[in-house]
Structure 1
Amino acid sequence: MSIRWKSLIAGLGVTVLALPGLAQARDFTIASWGGNYQDAQRSVYFAPFAKSQGDIRILEETYLGGLAQIKAMVETGNVTWDVLMIERSDLIVGCDEGLLEELDWEAVGGEDQLVPQAVHPCGAGNVVISTGFAYDPSRVKEAPKDYADFWNVEKWPGKRGLRAIPKSTLELALIADGVPLEQVYEVLATPEGLDRAFAKLDEIKPHIQFWEAGAQPVEWLAAGDVVMSTAYNGRIALANAEGRDLAFVWADHTYSIDSWAIVADSPNKELAMEFIKFANTPEPQAEFPKHIPYGPTNKQAAEMLDPTVSEMLPAGANMERSLLIDEQFWADNVDRITERWNAWIAQ
């Protein structure tokens, strides 16, 4: 079986899934992250849904994140997108600001079929994406097992790759300092806890190499520029499928969920609900990880996965020691914490 993987988002682009069929208010339009990721969605979700609806015509666009485009559509009354794949933090803010429709959960198949973390008034979580850390086994004498090892620069000398943003990074610092997963946000929400996270980062600051693009950790590990680095699980799986032999540590990984949402005032709202209902079902969700190594949110889909696929995904046993990113915490605190983060980086 050939496996296709998620790529970096390309520039803005438009693709038409040209299938003759029923007329609508305008073409049903779906916006997502582009690249191989959207190619997989087209195969698994878009084309089968179009066929199930009488070979309707679907227009695709590439979404680059944020709320600016959506806000402009809603405020001008020129809503050209119906459904989009959106990050949880933008989902929360967009829902609060009335930029996204509230879902009729009965119409989209019910809340119970999805893991609880995938359920939101304005969005249905569809994929689970993980950030753990990776290393090259050929370059270390002993395998690091957790973030305490990641911080141990005496036993594992060399640079560490960390993403150049506070979200997830501060959580990992507290985990490395011994904070239990279930207490991370309780601690981080206090001034003392925030100080503690930055103090822990101070311990390895001279050894940190900050990455911004998801491809960088793989490149740095391959070149020996870093001894270990945080990374997306999909990036490491892609590298290994292309001939690398990198190890990914699942212990205490963080994860987030991308969701399907409907733009407010969509003229195809009912059809959008039908699409989300289709995307919530177990069969396509179980098929998607065969193309891209990200986990499903449908409970039955997780049980349908082949073990050889599951071992690469944020699913099953890999979720036993994991932390869901608290997007509400970051929506409430991102400006304040980022200001401190930028000052710390500059020191």
Structure 2
Amino acid sequence: MNTKKTSVRLAAAWTLTLILAPVPSGAQEDNFITVVSWGGSYARSSVKAYHERFVEETGIQIKLDEYNGGLAQVRAQAETGNVTWDVIDMEAGDTLLGCDEGLLETIDYETLPAAPDGTPATEDFLDAFDVDCGAKGLIYSTVYAYNDTLFPDLKPATMADFFDLGKFPGRRGMRRTPNANLEFALVADGVPADQVYEVLSSEEGIARAFRKLDTIKDKVVWWE
């Protein structure tokens, strides 16, 4: 991988404020980079907020690709040597795992430009978690919603209600990922929110979460 391409990737990771750092892509041409995101309105907002300004300031074009998260495609590209992605907008857990597996490049924040207000890059990103392979730039929430017409009187209001098929019958739509679902399950099972990750740090805690998920598995409709 040549030095010029490396500097472009690192700048892109900062300018686009992505969670994840790039993977090597020696086959890419120097006049564009491939950025991978989640599609839909989220990707469109990223184009308006980050991509257009980056292209205007650098002259480097951005090819936007989509994926559903995870590391499967990243691993496949690394194993075959056919790396076509440069920058990936990835969730924190996948970022940490990908970094540990050596699938992602590290970012030296000292080499990144300061923010418009002069704040150095070393102080300008979120402190949500420690990772060497990404620029932490986004916080989001996962919530649940329900069809109000199906529950005209008593309304679900807690995570325990989400798992209560007796009081609130019907199918449950859940994203096909452990992210958030394990946390939801433990909260529904009575674990205080500020103790969820302590519980999840043990094998028994993970097993407890899956036992709770088993109570609704026959009614779950998975989406990606």
CA contact (8 A) 2:127 2:136 kept: no
Provide the alpha-carbon RMSD of the alignment.
Answer: 3.2
CA contact (8 A) 2:173 2:223 kept: no
Following TM superposition, by how much is the alpha carbon of 1:95 offset from its aligned partner in structure 2, in angstroms? 1.9
CA contact (8 A) 1:111 1:119 kept: no
Aligned to 1:38: 43
| 1:60 pairs with 2:70 | no
Gaps of 5+ in 1: 1-23, 215-347
| 1:49 pairs with 2:18 | no
When you count strand as a share of all residues, which structure comes out higher?
1
Following TM superposition, by how much is the alpha carbon of 1:175 offset from its aligned partner in structure 2, in angstroms? 0.6
Following TM superposition, by how much is the alpha carbon of 1:116 offset from its aligned partner in structure 2, in angstroms? 1.0
Instruction: Select the structure with the greater relative contact order (CA < 8 A; seq sep ≥ 6).
Output: 1
1:75-101 deviation digits (Å, cap 9, x = unpaired): 677655432222333322332233322
Following TM superposition, by how much is the alpha carbon of 1:189 offset from its aligned partner in structure 2, in angstroms? 3.6
| 1:87 pairs with 2:117 | no
TM-score, structure 1 normalization: 0.45
Aligned to 2:220: 210
Aligned to 2:145: 134
Q: How does 1:265-276 map to 2 (within 5 A)?
A: none
Q: How does 1:183-332 map to 2 (within 5 A)?
A: 183-205=195-217, 208-214=218-224
Of 71-80 and 95-104, deviating more is 71-80
Gaps of 5+ in 2: 1-27, 113-119
Alignment partners' CA distance in 1, 2:70 and 2:214: 31
CA contact (8 A) 2:74 2:103 kept: yes
1:13-62 deviation digits (Å, cap 9, x = unpaired): xxxxxxxxxxx961230322244433322221111122223xx0313141
Alignment partners' CA distance in 2, 1:190 and 1:71: 27
CA contact (8 A) 2:172 2:221 kept: no
Following TM superposition, by how much is the alpha carbon of 1:165 offset from its aligned partner in structure 2, in angstroms? 4.5
Query: Alpha carbons of 1:76 and 1:26: their partners in 2 closer, same or farther (altered >3 Å)?
Result: farther
Aligned-residue identity in percent: 41
Following TM superposition, by how much is the alpha carbon of 1:182 offset from its aligned partner in structure 2, in angstroms? 2.2
Query: Alpha carbons of 1:175 and 1:78: their partners in 2 closer, same or farther (altered >3 Å)?
Result: closer
User: 4+ residue stretches of structure 1 with deviation over 6 A?
Assistant: 75-78
Match of 2:135 among 118, 124, 134: 124
Quick one: which amino acid aligns to residue 209 of structure 1? K
What SS is found at the alignment partner of 2:111? Answer: coil
Alignment partners' CA distance in 1, 2:96 and 2:106: 11
Query: Alpha carbons of 1:138 and 1:40: their partners in 2 closer, same or farther (altered >3 Å)?
Result: same
Of 85-94 and 194-203, deviating more is 194-203
Paired residues, number: 187
Query: Alpha carbons of 1:61 and 1:145: their partners in 2 closer, same or farther (altered >3 Å)?
Result: same
Following TM superposition, by how much is the alpha carbon of 1:204 offset from its aligned partner in structure 2, in angstroms? 4.1
CA contact (8 A) 2:160 2:188 kept: yes
CA contact (8 A) 2:54 2:60 kept: no
Alignment partners' CA distance in 1, 2:80 and 2:164: 54
Alignment partners' CA distance in 2, 1:187 and 1:118: 18
Aligned to 1:96: 100
Following TM superposition, by how much is the alpha carbon of 1:71 offset from its aligned partner in structure 2, in angstroms? 5.0
Following TM superposition, by how much is the alpha carbon of 1:114 offset from its aligned partner in structure 2, in angstroms? 2.7
